[in-house]
């Protein structure tokens, strides 16, 4: 069997190359190739060119041919940089109470909130969690998402965080999509912890961090910086230790109050996620850094709160990734394309800005340099939609589904 493969012709192919990582993007900037083909070697893209030209020039390689006999638009596989798809239980009760006007405190006092998910997740086995991750990842993959970040954070003890991260590791071995694990042990302070917040963070960093390195469970440390979670002052020693040990840092920032983005810049985090409460001060701070803002429209939809000021961020010169925040509490929808399309409508983002936010800019928010674009040497992660006009993808707000998805060059969907 040949190690080479030729796919095409695509009516339109959007390689997402020659676009900058930062700043606003016009649709005039977008390269759209017509009647294009993709030549693959193994798991990576070897060449992109006119299909007929590629077909003739590659015959000596005897590539396996995948002929597309109907109009198709091809893009790099989508990348979801922020999910919480390792969990137990449901928060349908929270959703109903929130929509009925109940406050966060009222929901928590009724047994809801993040602690409810922590309780259910702790009660489930590693095998159960693994199966749940795989099920959700397969749904994402069918919708064109080929790389999925997955956080812990519903364990909130060394033992339970390890259970979650090991479940993510096992799921990654049995899932076509790439799962990128993130340790979010600093999600909220566990109410059953016998000690104060500094003691908890010290225990996590002293006992859990070395195991993460030894077992290669995660090279990413996240923290929720909020009045209801961890203040900048309390989280500083924790992040300093993570940075010293060589972990990549990302921050749940400015979701309800503007404080986390400053910490993200201070620790040169890869990304600052949420940012719904960011003001001009925080936007300018991020614009003058290399931190990638990540908008989470699913949380805004789920909570009924303002969207990340994506337009203002881009106009200020930042990058922008868009992620689903798929979780059982605030963002249960878990459909990246629908959420990205809705964010684009409310924030007046160009098609190019939205598609960049779920491809190469999303890859950068995960510090991944081998995907998000279709070019030589990059992974052959490809999604194809049954249309001859790429604008239909966002116009139909997620209702136009891909009918072909390739992961590492293999046809999965």
9 and 95 assigned to the same domain: no
**Distance set, CA 166 to CA 135, 209, 227, 349 (Å):** 16, 14, 30, 38
28 and 123 assigned to the same domain: no
pLDDT in tens, the chain (413 residues): 689 999 999 999 999 999 999 999 999 999 999 999 999 999 999 999 999 999 999 999 999 999 999 999 999 999 999 999 999 999 999 999 999 999 877 998 888 999 999 999 999 999 999 999 999 999 999 999 999 999 999 999 999 999 999 999 999 999 999 999 999 999 999 999 999 999 999 999 999 999 999 999 999 999 999 988 999 999 999 999 999 999 999 999 999 999 999 999 999 999 999 999 999 999 999 999 999 999 999 999 999 999 999 999 999 999 999 999 999 999 999 999 999 999 999 999 999 999 999 999 999 999 999 999 999 999 999 999 999 999 999 999 999 999 999 999 999 98
307 and 393 assigned to the same domain: no
SS3 287: helix
380 and 264 assigned to the same domain: no
Q: Whose structure tokens read 């799921």?
A: 171
Q: What are phi and psi of 36, to 5 degrees?
A: -95, 160
306 and 203 assigned to the same domain: yes
Q: Which domain holds residue 72?
A: 4-76+374-411
117 and 243 assigned to the same domain: yes
- Residue 399: CATH number of its domain: 2.30.40.10
Domain count, the chain: 2
Question: Could you check whether the bond before residue 9 is cis, i.e. omega within 30 degrees of 0?
Answer: yes
107 and 8 assigned to the same domain: no
Q: At what angle do helices 158-173 and 126-142 cross, to 10 degrees?
A: 50
Name residues whose C-beta falls within 8 Å of residue 130's C-beta, 6 or more positions apart in sequence. 167, 170, 171, 174
- Residue 280: CATH number of its domain: 3.20.20.140
272 and 400 assigned to the same domain: no
142 and 285 assigned to the same domain: yes
191 and 305 assigned to the same domain: yes
SS3 412: coil
Q: What are phi and psi of 113, to 5 degrees?
A: 80, -175
59 and 189 assigned to the same domain: no
Q: Angle CA(367)–CA(350)–CA(263) in degrees, nearest 5?
A: 40
264 and 137 assigned to the same domain: yes
Instruction: Quickly list H helices, 254-304.
Output: 260-266, 280-287, 297-303
pTM: predicted TM-score of the whole model, two decimal places: 0.98
């Amino acid at each position: 069997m040949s190690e080479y493969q030729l796919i095409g012709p695509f009516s339109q192919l959007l390689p997402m190359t020659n676009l900058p990582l930062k700043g606003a993007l016009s649709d005039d900037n977008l390269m759209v190739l017509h009647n294009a083909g993709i030549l693959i070697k193994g798991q990576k893209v070897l060449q992109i060119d006119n299909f007929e030209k590629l077909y003739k020039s590659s015959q000596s390689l005897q590539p396996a041919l995948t002929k597309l006999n109907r109009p198709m638009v091809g893009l790099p596989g989508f990348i979801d940089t922020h999910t919480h798809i390792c969990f137990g239980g449901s928060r349908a009760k929270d959703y109903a109470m929130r929509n009925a006007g109940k406050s966060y405190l009222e929901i928590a006092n009724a047994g809801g909130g993040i602690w409810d998910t922590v309780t259910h997740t702790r009660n489930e086995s590693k095998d159960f969690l693994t199966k749940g991750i795989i099920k959700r990842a397969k749904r994402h993959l069918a919708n064109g998402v080929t790389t999925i970040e997955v956080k812990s954070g519903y364990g909130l003890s060394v033992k339970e965080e390890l259970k979650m991260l090991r479940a993510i590791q096992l799921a990654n071995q049995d899932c076509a999509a790439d799962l990128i694990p993130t340790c979010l042990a600093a999600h909220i302070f566990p109410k059953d912890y016998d000690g104060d917040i500094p003691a908890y963070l010290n225990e996590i960093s002293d006992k859990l961090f070395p195991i993460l390195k030894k077992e290669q469970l995660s090279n990413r440390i996240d923290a929720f910086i909020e009045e209801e979670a961890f203040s900048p002052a309390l989280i500083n020693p924790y992040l300093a230790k993570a940075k010293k040990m060589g972990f990549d840092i990302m921050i749940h920032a400015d979701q309800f109050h503007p404080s986390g983005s400053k910490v993200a810049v201070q620790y040169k985090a890869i990304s600052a996620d949420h940012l719904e409460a960011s003001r001009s001060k925080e936007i300018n701070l991020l614009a003058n850094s290399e931190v990638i803002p990540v908008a989470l429209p699913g949380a805004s939809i789920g909570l009924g709160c303002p969207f990340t000021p994506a337009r203002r961020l881009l106009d200020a010169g930042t990058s922008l990734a868009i992620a689903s925040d798929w979780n059982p509490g605030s963002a249960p929808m878990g459909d990246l394309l629908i959420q990205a399309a809705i964010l684009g409508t409310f924030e007046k983002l160009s098609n190019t800005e939205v598609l960049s936010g779920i491809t190469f800019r999303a890859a950068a928010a995960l510090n991944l340099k081998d995907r998000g674009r279709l070019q030589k040497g990059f992974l052959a992660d490809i999604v194809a939609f049954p249309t001859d006009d790429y604008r239909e993808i966002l116009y139909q707000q997620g209702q136009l589904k891909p009918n072909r998805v390739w992961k590492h060059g293999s046809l999965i969907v």
